Amino acid sequence: MEITEAQESGRAVAVLDGRLDTATAPMTEAKLTEMLKQGGVIADLAAVRYVSSAGLRVLLKAAKLAKEAKVPFAVVGLQAPVREVFEISGFDKIIPAFATRAEAAAA
């Protein structure tokens, strides 16, 4: 997993690339937590091909931290397999998901 930071309309973007699974979850959680301390975050998952239950927990924890801090958190660019996992698990009803960074930043 590689995570790079970017900006979209003044909002921090965490660009994730790789698998979000047990091996990469701790590092991903630490990075998202660090970024959320600065304000709202858009997690760009366009290059994420696989999300395990450990990965889902990381995203849920980030969403909860954002809610507690009253800052926005959203995911964008879900690939078909990842979108399916989100829908089956019900995460699409918990975490706002958008097609693009611009849509997420405007929301």
pLDDT score at 107: 87
Give the global pTM. Answer: 0.94
Tell whether 51 is covered by a domain: yes
Tell whether 70 is covered by a domain: yes
Tell whether 106 is covered by a domain: no
CATH of the domain at 57: 3.30.750.24
- The structure tokens listed for 34 are 């660090």
H/E run at residue 4: strand 2-8
Neighbour-count burial of 53, counting CB atoms closer than 10 A to its CB (0-12 exposed, 13-18 middle, 19+ buried) = exposed
pLDDT, one tens digit per residue, over 23-81 is: 999 999 999 999 999 999 999 999 999 999 999 999 999 999 999 999 999 999 999 99
pLDDT score at 15: 98
